[in-house]
């Protein structure tokens, strides 16, 4: 996945989670749930872009496909491009922003470290209290340290110490540090500022909730007038922007437990949106030959050259064949596949996985790019497959049928002279099991080790017979209840 697309998706999911928090969760009094929701939203958003839309499973429990070894096309590696490209400029700007954000965090930690070392230390069982002889900084807590200024020590020591010990005991500082770390990587995304304000607000609600008398505590908050600088990494006792919300939440009736269902509804809604986004990425684009000549845009995950046949076999008695055989097919690819200039200039190499259907008339249809690498390589591979001559169709029961065929094409950069590497492929039997394993019988012998099936040379297979239901149990008894695959070879 392109890194820029990934970052964009993560940012959008952050916005979505935060919007759900504002609409459904912020006014509720489930403060612990809100805290974990906000932190989990920042983490889960990294996984959501990798969601793959589920496709319908095949009806049969086992699928057999014949897959060719990759065909390789190589070219001389392009000269090193100029450093003054748009991509490099963007990365340079990003690096500068990350360095500046990292420096700000380092400076804040240095300033905080200075405060922690200049005051008088009082070691308690669960924390360390630091008394500073100054009123220029408000009282706050950070990790296991509680800093209290001179005025608060003389007038409000018990109330503030009790409040800040809640922050220390519930490890609220780790939430702030996590967000500050993300702000270094995603310095350009302002949504993290809203997350930080929201989590700090929830931290204060949790600490206020532990007050022994809410009436007295609310009056204390109103009368407390500390107008000191606030450290960005700490849980500060007093913030003017939060005082009204804190007092309102102190007096608010506790939310009904039935409202806990809103958290599940929110997560399900975001998950559904993630599935919709993943599904949109698998939209099939249909191209005609005329369109292919006019357009040079990138392919989607799938490319369809012709309508897909109604029934496609993956198990047939006679496999389809390129005119002249496998070697002739690879000679054809060697003559016609060209390394795209855009890919060579960008130093792009990799493997394009293709799948297509050889119809009962030998035509090539339903060309799919299962996995591509872009920069024109996908289009080049599809172009050559469209130019294939008619194949000898596969046969089942003596009749021609539609058969799916898989073909990887490897685009490779070399340091020497360009060359086309044609490999006479070996074939293998690929088994994907989606249900109960059937019984395998090779030349009348029951095979229990499926790994040995992959050693069978497909050229030596005379026929494959599939038994299901009563036909399997009548022939093999209870062992055949999950189906039987009978394979007959010329040699084992």
Confidence (pLDDT) at 302:
39
Q: What angle do CA 327, 320, 462 make, to 5 degrees?
A: 100
Out of 68-77, 97-106, 193-202, 344-353, pick the least confident.
68-77
Q: Is the pLDDT of residue 79 over 60?
A: no
Confidence (pLDDT) at 46:
92
Tens digit of each residue's pLDDT (9 = 90 or more) over 452-471? 776 777 667 766 777 777 87
Domains of the chain are 62-80+284-431 (3.30.2420.10), 81-251 (no CATH), 436-492 (no CATH)
The larger pLDDT score, comparing residue 409 to residue 257, is at 409
Confidence (pLDDT) at 67:
54
The proportion of the chain whose per-residue pLDDT surpasses 70, expressed as a percent, equals 73
Q: Is the pLDDT of residue 176 over 60?
A: yes
Confidence (pLDDT) at 280:
67
Task: Please state the three-class secondary structure of 273-323 as a single string.
Answer: HHHHHHHHCCCCEECCHHHHHHCCCCCCCCEECCCCCCCCECCCCECCECC
Tens digit of each residue's pLDDT (9 = 90 or more) over 234-271? 555 555 556 667 767 776 777 777 778 888 888 888 87
Q: Is the pLDDT of residue 1 over 80?
A: no
Tens digit of each residue's pLDDT (9 = 90 or more) over 273-307? 877 777 666 543 333 333 433 433 334 333 444 44
Q: Are 414 and 74 in contact, with CB atoms under 8 Å apart? A: yes
Confidence (pLDDT) at 4:
76
Confidence (pLDDT) at 371:
87
Please list, in sequence order, all residues whose beta carbon lies within 8 angstroms of the beta carbon of residue 218, skipping any fewer than 6 positions away: 247, 250, 251
Q: Is the pLDDT of residue 193 over 60?
A: yes
Q: Is the pLDDT of residue 6 over 70?
A: yes
Confidence (pLDDT) at 84:
74
Top-ranked range on mean pLDDT: pick from 78-87, 158-167, 438-447: 158-167
The larger pLDDT score, comparing residue 106 to residue 84, is at 106
Q: What angle do CA 131, 134, 138 make, to 5 degrees?
A: 80
Confidence (pLDDT) at 262:
84
Rg of the chain's alpha carbons, rounded to an integer? Answer: 33
The pLDDT mean for the chain works out to: 76
Q: What's the whole-number mean pLDDT along residues 209-227?
A: 69
Split at pLDDT 50, 70, 90, the class of 44 is very high
Confidence (pLDDT) at 486:
81
Distance CA 282, CA 435 (A): 26
Split at pLDDT 50, 70, 90, the class of 43 is very high
Q: What's the whole-number mean pLDDT along residues 45-69?
A: 57
Q: Is the pLDDT of residue 89 over 50?
A: yes
Q: Is the pLDDT of residue 17 over 90?
A: yes
Top-ranked range on mean pLDDT: pick from 29-33, 476-480, 485-489: 29-33
Tens digit of each residue's pLDDT (9 = 90 or more) over 95-136? 999 999 999 999 999 988 888 888 888 888 889 999 988 877
Q: What's the whole-number mean pLDDT along residues 53-72?
A: 47
Confidence (pLDDT) at 71:
62
Tens digit of each residue's pLDDT (9 = 90 or more) over 354-382? 888 888 888 998 888 888 888 889 999 99
Task: Please state the three-class secondary structure of the chain as a single string.
Answer: CCHHHHHHHHHHHHHHHHHHHHHHHCCCCCHHHHHHHHHHHHHHCCCHHHCCCCCCCCCCCEEEEEECCCEEEEEECCCCCCCCCHHHHHHHHHHHHHHHHHHHHHHHHHHHHHHHHHCEEEECCCCEEEEECCCCCCCEEECCEEEEEHHHHHHCHHHHHHHHHHHHHCCHHHHHHHHHHHHHHCCCCCHHHHHHHHHHHHHHHHHHHCCCCHHHHHHHHHHCCCCCCCCCCCEECCCHHHHHHHHHHHHCCCCCHHHHHHHHHHHHHHHHHHHHHHHHCCCCEECCHHHHHHCCCCCCCCEECCCCCCCCECCCCECCECCCCHHHHHHHHHHHCCCCHHHHHCCCCEEEEEEEEECCCCCEEEEEEEECCCCCHHHHHHHHHHCCCCCECEEECCEEECEEEEEEEEEEEECCCCCEECCCCCCEEEEEECCCCCEEEECCEEECCHHHHHHCCHHHEEEEEEECCHHHHHHHHHHHCCCEEEEEECCC
Confidence (pLDDT) at 69:
58
Confidence (pLDDT) at 405:
85
Confidence (pLDDT) at 251:
61
- pTM of the full predicted structure? 0.52
Please list, in sequence order, all residues whose beta carbon lies within 8 angstroms of the beta carbon of residue 12, skipping any fewer than 6 positions away: none
Q: Is the pLDDT of residue 414 over 80?
A: no
Q: Are 102 and 459 in contact, with CB atoms under 8 Å apart? A: no
Q: Is the pLDDT of residue 164 over 50?
A: yes
């Amino acid at each position: 996945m392109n890194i820029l697309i990934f970052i964009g998706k993560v940012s959008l999911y952050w916005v979505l989670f935060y919007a759900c928090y504002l609409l459904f969760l912020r006014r509720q009094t489930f403060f612990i749930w809100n805290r974990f929701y906000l932190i989990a939203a920042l983490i889960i958003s990294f996984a959501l872009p990798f969601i793959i839309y589920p496709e319908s499973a095949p009806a049969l429990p086992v699928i057999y496909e014949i897959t060719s070894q990759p065909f390789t096309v190589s070219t001389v590696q392009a000269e090193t491009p100029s450093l003054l490209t748009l991509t490099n400029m963007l990365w340079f700007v990003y690096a500068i922003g990350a360095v500046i954000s990292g420096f700000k965090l380092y400076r804040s930690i240095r300033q905080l470290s200075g405060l922690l070392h200049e005051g008088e230390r009082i070691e308690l069982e669960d924390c360390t209290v630091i008394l500073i002889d100054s009123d220029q900084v408000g009282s706050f807590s950070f990790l296991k340290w509680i800093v209290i200024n001179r005025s608060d020590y003389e007038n409000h020591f018990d109330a503030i110490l009790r409040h800040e010990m809640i922050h220390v005991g519930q490890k609220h500082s780790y939430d702030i540090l996590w967000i500050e770390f993300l702000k270094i990587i995603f310095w350009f995304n302002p949504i993290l500022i809203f997350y930080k304000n929201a989590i700090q607000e929830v931290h204060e609600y949790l600490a206020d909730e532990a007050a022994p008398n809410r009436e007295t505590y609310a009056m204390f908050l109103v009368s407390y007038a500390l107008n000191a600088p606030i450290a960005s990494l700490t849980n500060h006792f007093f913030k003017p922007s939060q005082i009204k919300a804190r007092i309102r939440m102190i007096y608010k009736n506790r939310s009904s437990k039935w409202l806990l269902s809103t958290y599940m509804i929110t997560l399900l809604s975001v998950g559904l949106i993630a599935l919709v986004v993943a599904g949109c990425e698998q939209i099939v684009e249909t191209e005609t030959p005329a369109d292919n000549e006019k357009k040079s845009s990138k392919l989607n995950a799938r490319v369809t050259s012709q309508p897909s046949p109604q029934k496609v076999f993956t198990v047939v008695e006679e496999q389809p064949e390129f005119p002249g055989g496998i070697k002739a097919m690879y000679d054809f690819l060697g003559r016609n596949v060209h390394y795209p200039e855009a890919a060579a200039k960008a130093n792009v190499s990799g493997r394009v996985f293709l799948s297509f259907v050889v119809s009962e008339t030998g035509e090539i249809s339903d060309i799919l790019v299962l996995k591509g690498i872009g920069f024109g390589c996908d289009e080049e591979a599809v172009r050559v497959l469209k130019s294939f001559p008619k194949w000898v169709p596969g046969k089942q029961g003596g009749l021609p049928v539609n058969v799916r065929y898989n073909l990887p094409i490897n685009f490779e950069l070399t340091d020497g002279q360009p060359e086309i590497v044609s490999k006479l492929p070996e074939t293998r039997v690929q088994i994907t099991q989606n249900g109960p394993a059937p019984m395998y019988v090779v030349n009348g012998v029951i095979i229990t080790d499926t790994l040995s099936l992959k050693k069978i040379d497909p050229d030596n297979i005379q026929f494959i017979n599939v038994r299901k239901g009563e036909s399997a149990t009548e022939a093999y008894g209870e062992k055949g209840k999950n189906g039987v695959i009978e394979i007959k070879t010329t040699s084992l």
